[in-house]
Amino acid sequence: MTAASHAVADLSEVRDRDHLYIDGAWVEPNGTGRTDVESPSTEKVVASVVNGDDVDTDRAVQAAHRAFREWSETPRDERIAAVERLAAALDSRRNALGGLIASEVGMPLEQATTAQATMPVGVLEATARAAKSYEWEESVGNSLVVRQPAGVVAAITPWNFPLHQIAAKVGPALVAGCTVVLKPSAVAPLNGFAFAECVAESGIPPGVFNLVPGRGSVVGEAMVSHPLVSVVSLTGSVESGARVGQVAAQGIKRVCLELGGKSANVLLDDADLDTAIPSAVSQAFVNSGQACNALSRLLVPRRLLAGVEERLVAEVGRIVVGDPFEPGVTMGPVVNAAQRESVREHIGGALRSGARLIAGGAEAPPGLATGYYLSPTVFSDVTSEMPIAQEEVFGPVLVVQPYDDEDGAVTIANSTPFGLSGGVWSADRARALSVAHRLRTGQVKINGVRTRDHFDAPFGGYGLSGLGRELGRFGIDEFTEVTSILG
- Residues with a catalytic annotation lie at 258
From the list 206, 253, 215, 214, the residue with the least C-alpha distance to 233 is 253
CA distance 437 to 176: 31
Give every CB contact of residue 238 below 8 A, 6+ residues apart in sequence.
259, 260, 464
| Cα gap 403→316, rounded to integer Å | 22
CA-to-CA distance for 175 and 127, rounded, in angstroms? 8
- Total count of residues recorded for the chain: 487
Residues 210, 84, 14: CA angle, nearest 5 degrees: 55
Q: How many CB atoms lie within 10 A of CB 252?
A: 7
* Bridge partners of residue 421, in order along the sequence: none
Quick one: which of 126, 174, 128 has its CA closest to 150? 174
Strand-pair partners of 140: 143
Q: What's the CA gap between 101 and 372, in Å, rounded?
A: 16
Angle at 445 between CA 313 and CA 315, to 5 degrees: 15
- Give strand ranges (E) for 29-102: 34-38, 45-50
Q: How distant, in Å, are the alpha carbons of 158, 189, 192, 275, 313 from that of 161?
A: 7, 11, 12, 26, 27
Compute the distance between CA of residue 33 and CA of residue 12 in angstroms, rounded to an integer: 24
Q: Are 470 and 442 in contact (CB under 8 A)?
A: no
